[in-house]
Amino acid sequence: GAVVSQHPSRVICKSGTSVKIECRSLDFQATTMFWYRQFPKKSLMLMATSNEGSKATYEQGVEKDKFLINHASLTLSTLTVTSAHPEDSSFYICVSGGDTQYFGPGTRLTVL
C-alpha cells in the first residue's frame, strides 16, 4: 500500500540552527502534502498545505518565514525550521492529500 516516509525520525539541534525535514511519498504521487505539528499530549495542528509547483498555504498564526515549505516534486515535500528555538521542539507530521490520506511516521524535533 501507499507509504509516506519522513526523514529524519528524530533530530536534536542547537538553538539558532536550521533543520530540514523531508517527507516522501514512496509509491504514489502527492500533489498536496499537509504539515502538522503536535505538542506532547496535544492534538495535531495544521501548519500549512504544500502544493507541488506552487507556494505553500499557511494557517493563521504560522510564520511562513520561519517554517519554509518546498514541494519541488510530486514525491517530495520539505519543511525547514529556520533559526530554531526551544519552543519549536515538537513532533512534526506530514500527511498526503487526496481521497485517502496517508500519514508519515513523524519527526521528533528537540531544540536545545
Partner 1 sequence: GQQLNQSPQSMFIQEGEDVSMNCTSSSIFNTWLWYKQDPGEGPVLLIALYKAGELTSNGRLTAQFGITRKDSFLNISASIPSDVGIYFCAGHGSGNTGKLIFGQGTTLQVKP
Cell of 99: 481521497
The answer to whether residue 43 forms part of the interface with partner 1 (CB under 8 A) is yes
Among 3, 46, 72, 112, binds partner 1 (CB under 8 A): 46
Among 34, 50, 79, 84, binds partner 1 (CB under 8 A): 34
Q: Choose among 110, 59, 56: nearest CA to 88.
A: 110
d(CA 22, CA 25): 10
The answer to whether residue 42 forms part of the interface with partner 1 (CB under 8 A) is yes
Nearer to partner 1, 34 or 67 (CB): 34
CA 81 to chain centre: 9
Nearer to partner 1, 78 or 96 (CB): 96
Cell of 29: 504521487
CA dihedral over 17, 77, 108, 5, signed as positive or negative:
negative
The answer to whether residue 105 forms part of the interface with partner 1 (CB under 8 A) is yes
Among 7, 22, 44, 66, binds partner 1 (CB under 8 A): 44
Q: Choose among 42, 39, 35: nearest CA to 81.
A: 35
The answer to whether residue 104 forms part of the interface with partner 1 (CB under 8 A) is yes
Binding site for partner 1 (CB under 8 A): 32, 34, 36, 41-46, 49, 93, 95, 97-98, 101, 103-106, 108
